[in-house]
Every structure is written in structure tokens, then in C-alpha cells.
Structure 1
Amino acid sequence: MAREIPFFKPDISAAEREQIEKVLDLDDLSKAEALESAFTKRTGATYAISTNSGTSALHLSMCAMDLKRGDKIICSVNSFPSVPEVVRHFDAEPIFVDIDAEDFNIDLDAFEKVLEENKSKKLKGAIINHVAGQPTDLDRLYEIARHHGIRIVEDASDAMGGTYNGDPIGATGADITCFSFSPHMKNSVANAGMMLCEDDDLYRRGMLLRNHAIESSGWDKYGNLEYIYDVVDIGWKYDISALDAAYALAQYGRVEKMIAHRQKIAAVYDEALEGVKHVSIPVKKRDHIYHHYIIRIDRNRDGFARALKERGIHCGLHYIPLHLMSYYKQKYSLRVNDFQTALQTYQQVLSLPIYHNMSDADVEYVCDMVKEVASKHI
């Protein structure tokens, strides 16, 4: 019987259990504040707002920017659906941009061209995601944004704990940076997100809208609202539970160890799969934490994936281009060939399992099976 290698499996240690026990014993319910403090300390960001999911953090960032109907936000067509989704909830418009053929992040030449062609005051900013944990060229991105006077929101869901030129992702120059603790799991052990920023107004508005836009004289240690309060805007219920925050805090405390192990796995994959027929390994252009390990299959990618699944190896796909999704295709009359690089990439890419609790034997098995399938691939 084939060994079973899931695409992802959470790693739960004594640290997570200890943090959760403290909450269950009602000994320490301030885990959200502790999580926010951990982020500002590690990244150097001025402000941190914890949320109940990464999508909530992205949506809250649009709220903090006061996005309105008809406004426009640029994003890569190679993003998770949460990115344009948070824009559309304001009846604002996402503008899709093609991708770089090597690192699968947004094509900055195309990004700049879109800005040159869209001089409208309705164009407010861009949401830039870091595919697989490798950031885009942030120096150039920020320079373009300053020249055109737009705001940059980084979706760093794949880049938690990552760096750009050695500096922590989260305070490298974006207006807002958002993180997710479960970007690729449908049924997560716990959900958590984070929004980082430097601007006082963005922070105050984010904090206000995170919890129903309630202004109050205070809350007690159990989260009970003081009996006199006011509602000053339309807000959301995006604050994080103490249990979710406890789990996220323990995970974040081990993020560097997890990254180091993924990088070790990636190095094994690189060495084992370099030069394998039909397979191309990832192109490393900048700091890379290998949240995903994305290979290219030169033809019949789906057949390759099926063959791996028959051998017990579950793979991912990052991502199906947004212009192929029924909603966006129909809403904006998009054609299949509108984003050529993203389309070709989508037809070839495959994400292999890579996570902290993969054993050496698991990694070796994945390598062996990829080579075996490649040797028979048509």
C-alpha cells in the first residue's frame, strides 16, 4: 500500500496545548494582545490588529482605507479569491494584472502599465500577494506606488515570518500588511489573521470597525461590555477569540523553526528534482520561505498529479487564475487568453507537500515518486 502524504498537516506541540490550557482555565484571556505584541516586536511594525481570519484582516484593511463604490484596486490575477472578494464587497472594482513567469508574483511592468493607463482618482491602491513565500520586488513596487500616489496592501498570507533583503515582511514600506494563520486549509484547527500598519488613522479606524464600531468606557477581563456604549459607524465582528489567539501565539513563536525546516525540505527537493525530465523546480529570486514548493510540469500536469495521488501524494494548485472563475469571467467579460502568462503557468504548476512535521522519509518518498512518475510521464 502506498504511503499517504497529505498536502498539509498542522504541527501541534506542547506550546499550543499550554497556551490553550491557560485560556480554558481562565488564567490568561489577553492572548490577542500578546499576539499583536509578538508581531510588532518581530516585524518592527508600529501597529498590529488581530482578527479572526486572514480574509477579515484584508477586508478590515479596505474598511480602514474607506474604500467606496466604484473605487478600483489592482491585484494579481494569480491570487486566492479572498483578494478580489474583499474589494467587491464594497461594490468596488478589482483590476487584474498578469504575473511574472518565474516567481508567479505580479508582473511589475504590467502593473506600471495599468497605472499609466488608469489616471482616475478612483484608483485607490493595490493588494499585492507574495506567492509561495517569495516576495515581489518590493523596492520597485513601492517606488511605483509613490510615483502614482496609491496605497499598497500586502497580502502576506504565504510570507508569515518571511523577509525581504533580510528585513521582516510586515514593515518594509507597505501601507498595510495582512497575514493569515491558515491560508490553505478549509477546516482549520484555529483561525487567525493580522493587520499591520504604520498610520495612526488606519490603525484607529481598523480597531474601531473590528468590533461593530462600538465606543465604550471599557470591557472587563472576560470581554463583557460596560453598560454605557455607543455605535459610531458600521462595523464588523472581526475580533479574534482567546482560544484562536492562544493557538496562533504558540504557532507564531515557532515560525522561524518551521521556516527553517521547510527550507531544508526545499533544498532536498531542489537537489533531487533538478534536471528530472518534465519537471522544473522553483526559481528563487529573493528571500524565500517556501510556504509552498511549486514545480512546473511541461505537459499534462493533471495526469502527473493523478499519478502522484495514486501513490498517496496529495498536491495543491497555486493558483487557478481569477479570470477563469465564473463570477469574475462573467462580471467583467474576461476571456481565457486575457492573461497569457498566468494561463500558461496555471496549466503547468503543481505544489508539492512541504510542512514542518514532514519526516525525512516522507520527503524522500515524495522525491522518489515524482521521479518515478516523471520517468513514465507522457
Structure 2
Amino acid sequence: MQVPFYKIDIGKKEQQRVMDVLQGNAYYAVEDLEANFEKYIGASYAVSTSSGTGALHLAMLAIDLKRGDKVLCSVNAYPAVPEVVRHFDAEPGFIDIDEETFNIDLDKLENYLEDNQSKKLKAVIVSHIAGQPMDLERLYNIAKIYNIKIIEDASDALGGTYRGQKIGSTGATITCFSFSQHLKRNICQGGMLVTEDEDIMARAKLLRNHALVTDEDSLEYIYDVTDVGNKYTMSDLDAAFIDVQLSRQDQTIARQQEIAAKFTQKLKGVAHITIPEAKEDHAYTNYIIKIDKNRDSFARELEKKGIDTGLHYIPLHLLSYYKTKYMLRINDFPVALRNYQTVLSLPIYAALTDKEVDYICDSIKEIAKTRV
């Protein structure tokens, strides 16, 4: 049996909406998606982008990040997070993680802010790893005390909730989403930036298309440029497809949670395997187990059985650029390092069948028996 790490579920509605665009019958697909996203999240403003990374970069533009500014983030994040900071010649600062949630450790974050107060510190980017949200109530209180902006990287938390409220509507300065989650390939690309701040929304909309402005009373091809922007606009084809997928995102999450419950039931107590624990509402965009005996060898054995796996993530301080640029040592972030050596992400998506779930669990149990 072959079980890919991710498989997109495409129905007739997606095909029809894409065909509408190709036939010239969906001129406002992007605008429709933004409006529907605002309703779905419960946010005042949503600005679409060409990718999740584009949304993060646009967020840095929107908060007017400048050279020499500093932005904190988890050391366990996708490379796009510190990358968008470096594009401004600003400095990312790394914080170790909570061992169970894999999210940024709020105790360590608060200690860092207490010891390193600076006007150059502009924001903290927090990632909801695998769909498990941060303790946002505490995070927002920390942000108020130290007067910093919170940018939420919700690439793994599209449709996820925090205490019943949709991620993106809970109080962050900006929340960024991706429609092609980390290490999960989609057939389309897209991102979204949401905010309650009208000024941030206006700046983001301006800068996502080269800061071009036109006069309603002039010919359409007459334009001006008022700032230095970028090209992060989403295509109508991507928007049409994503809009249909968004309409059933809650059902997708429900199925992921159902699969996660099956994994938990079948893998609980298996030797050498530690299953994840949900501290808050968990969307289970990824199901991350820990393997105490040679994770990579375990993954290779699963691969031989046709089961693809993922890794979320290689800690940033182990990557050549950041290790060299900031002279980071391997033991600077011991929790992230320890987790990295054991974590493994299993396939989990709405199209995964119960038969495939059983096959994954049976394979894990079989391989685990060979470990001493």
C-alpha cells in the first residue's frame, strides 16, 4: 500500500469554479475569497497573497519593519519566518520551545523580554505548530506589558480555534495563513493576511502590488507609485479553487481530529512511541509522534512500507545560514534540539481512509517491535 504524506481532495465544485475562471465567468474570484475569508475567520479585513510566505513578508512591510529592528520567533519554525525578517536587514531572535506542544516557550519568551528591553524590538512571530494554538491569552498579556506587536503564523492552523474562537480573530496585530501547509504540497498556492487594524490593511493592500495607485477618473492604464512594494497578488484560478476548499475547511478539520483520535487510540502504549497531547483546541494539521530509538531509521522502514512521513521542523539554529550568521551553538536551544532528534509527522488529511490509518498504525507497531 502507498500512503503519501498529503493528498488533495478535489471535488466537482472545485473543477467547476476553475472552469468558470477559464471561461471568463469569475472576474471577482479574489475579492469573493477575501470576503468569504473575513466571514469564516470573523476578521474585519483579509488581504490575499500569492503564498503564505508572501503573507508573512507583507506583514513585515505593513508594520514598517526597518534595518536593525528585531523580531523574535520560535527556533522551531519554518525557514520562511526568519527569512522574511532578514529581507529587511532586520534581526531575528530565537526562543526555545515547549517540549510537549512544540510551540514557543512563553516562560522563556517573557524572560528574554525582561532581560532585553529595546526600542528596536518590533514584534514576535508565533507559529501554531501542527495546528495546536499557543496560550494566546497569556501571549497577548505579555505583548501589552512589553508593548510589542504579535504576528501569528497560522500556516498550520487554518480553521483552527482557540477556546472556541477562530485563529485570526483572537487579538493578534496580524495573522498570516497559508493554503499550502508546510511540507504539504498543494496544486495551488496562496496565502492570506488578516487584521483588525484599518491602517495595516490599507498599507498591506497598497504594497502587495508594487504600491501602484490609480485615479478613478483617469484611464485605467494611468497609474502612480507611492512607495516600494512587491508583487504578492493571488491569481483568480488559485482564489476560485481555494474558495471552494475553504467552504469545507471545518469538515476537513473534523476529519483530521477523527483520524488523530484513531492514531491516539491505536498507538497509545506502543513501545518507543510517544503520542501528542492537545493542550488547547487542536486542528491536527500534523500528527507528530516521538520515536526514542533512531527516528530516521524508523522513517526509512515506514518508507519501505510505502508510508511517507514529514519533519516539523529542523531547528533554525542547526541551519547553516543562521548558525553561521549568529554564531549559534548546537546546545543553545536544548529542548528544540532534543525534540528534533525524535519527532516524526505522520500522514493526516481528510482524504486519508480508515484502512490507510490502520495500515499506518500496524506498520508502526511492527517496526517498534524490532527496536530494543
Shorter-chain TM-score above 0.5:
yes
- Aligned mate of 2:293, from 295, 299, 321: 299
Q: Is the 8 A contact 1:304 1:377 kept in 2?
A: no
- Are 1:288 and 2:282 an aligned pair? yes
* 1:239-271: CA deviation from partner (whole Å, max 9, x where unpaired): 100001111111111101111111111010000
Q: Which residue of structure 2 aligns with residue 189 of structure 1? A: 187
The one-letter amino acid paired with 1:341 is V
Q: Which residue of structure 1 aligns with residue 139 of structure 2? A: 141
How far has the Cα of 1:184 moved from its partner? 2.6
CA distance in 1, matches of 2:243, 2:228: 29
Q: Is the 8 A contact 2:99 2:339 kept in 1?
A: yes
Written as runs of structure 1 = structure 2, the 5 A alignment for 1:121-140 is 121-140=119-138
Q: Which residue of structure 2 aligns with residue 345 of structure 1? A: 339
- Are 1:156 and 2:154 an aligned pair? yes
CA distance in 1, matches of 2:25, 2:362: 49
- Aligned mate of 2:173, from 148, 164, 175: 175
* 1:195-216: CA deviation from partner (whole Å, max 9, x where unpaired): 0001111111000001010010
Q: Which residue of structure 2 aligns with residue 272 of structure 1? A: 266
Closer, same or farther: CA 191–218 of 1 in aligned 2, 3 Å: farther
Q: Is the 8 A contact 2:41 2:167 kept in 1?
A: yes
CA distance in 2, matches of 1:108, 1:356: 32
CA distance in 2, matches of 1:13, 1:72: 44
Q: Is the 8 A contact 2:208 2:229 kept in 1?
A: yes
CA distance in 2, matches of 1:217, 1:257: 43
Q: Which residue of structure 2 aligns with residue 259 of structure 1? A: 253
CA distance in 1, matches of 2:216, 2:242: 25
Q: Which residue of structure 2 aligns with residue 205 of structure 1? A: 203
* 1:128-183: CA deviation from partner (whole Å, max 9, x where unpaired): 00000010100000000010000000000000000000001111010000000002
Between 203-212 and 27-36, the greater mean CA deviation after superposition: 27-36
Partner SS for 1:262:
helix
How far has the Cα of 1:218 moved from its partner? 4.9
Between 163-172 and 7-16, the greater mean CA deviation after superposition: 7-16
Partner SS for 1:338:
coil
- Aligned mate of 1:73, from 71, 74, 80: 71
Between 7-16 and 274-283, the greater mean CA deviation after superposition: 7-16
Q: Provide structure 1 residue ranges, at least 5 long, that are not aligned to the other structure.
A: none
CA distance in 2, matches of 1:181, 1:39: 12
Closer, same or farther: CA 276–219 of 1 in aligned 2, 3 Å: farther
What is the RMSD of the two structures over their aligned residues, measured on CA atoms?
1.3
Q: Is the 8 A contact 1:132 1:291 kept in 2?
A: yes
CA distance in 2, matches of 1:172, 1:133: 15
* 1:324-357: CA deviation from partner (whole Å, max 9, x where unpaired): 0000000000000000000000000000000111
Q: Is the 8 A contact 1:45 1:171 kept in 2?
A: yes
Q: Provide structure 2 residue ranges, at least 5 long, that are not aligned to the other structure.
A: none
CA distance in 2, matches of 1:54, 1:154: 12
How far has the Cα of 1:301 moved from its partner? 0.9
Instruction: Tell me the number of residue pairs that the alignment of Structure 1 and Structure 2 aligns.
Output: 372
CA distance in 2, matches of 1:198, 1:332: 34
The one-letter amino acid paired with 1:334 is L
How far has the Cα of 1:38 moved from its partner? 1.2
Q: Which residue of structure 1 aligns with residue 358 of structure 2? A: 364
Partner SS for 1:357:
coil
CA distance in 2, matches of 1:60, 1:184: 18
Q: Which residue of structure 2 aligns with residue 36 of structure 1? A: 34
The one-letter amino acid paired with 2:333 is F
CA distance in 2, matches of 1:170, 1:26: 32
Q: Which residue of structure 2 aligns with residue 335 of structure 1? A: 329
Q: Which residue of structure 1 aligns with residue 234 of structure 2? A: 240
Partner SS for 1:128:
strand
Closer, same or farther: CA 272–311 of 1 in aligned 2, 3 Å: same
How far has the Cα of 1:28 moved from its partner? 1.1
* 1:277-312: CA deviation from partner (whole Å, max 9, x where unpaired): 000110111100100000001121111111111111
How far has the Cα of 1:314 moved from its partner? 0.7
The one-letter amino acid paired with 2:223 is Y
Q: Is the 8 A contact 2:312 2:344 kept in 1?
A: yes
The one-letter amino acid paired with 2:81 is V
How far has the Cα of 1:19 moved from its partner? 1.1
CA distance in 1, matches of 2:217, 2:249: 31
Partner SS for 1:376:
coil
Identity, % of aligned pairs? Answer: 57
TM-score, scaled relative to structure 1: 0.97
Written as runs of structure 1 = structure 2, the 5 A alignment for 1:74-93 is 74-93=72-91
CA distance in 2, matches of 1:21, 1:281: 43
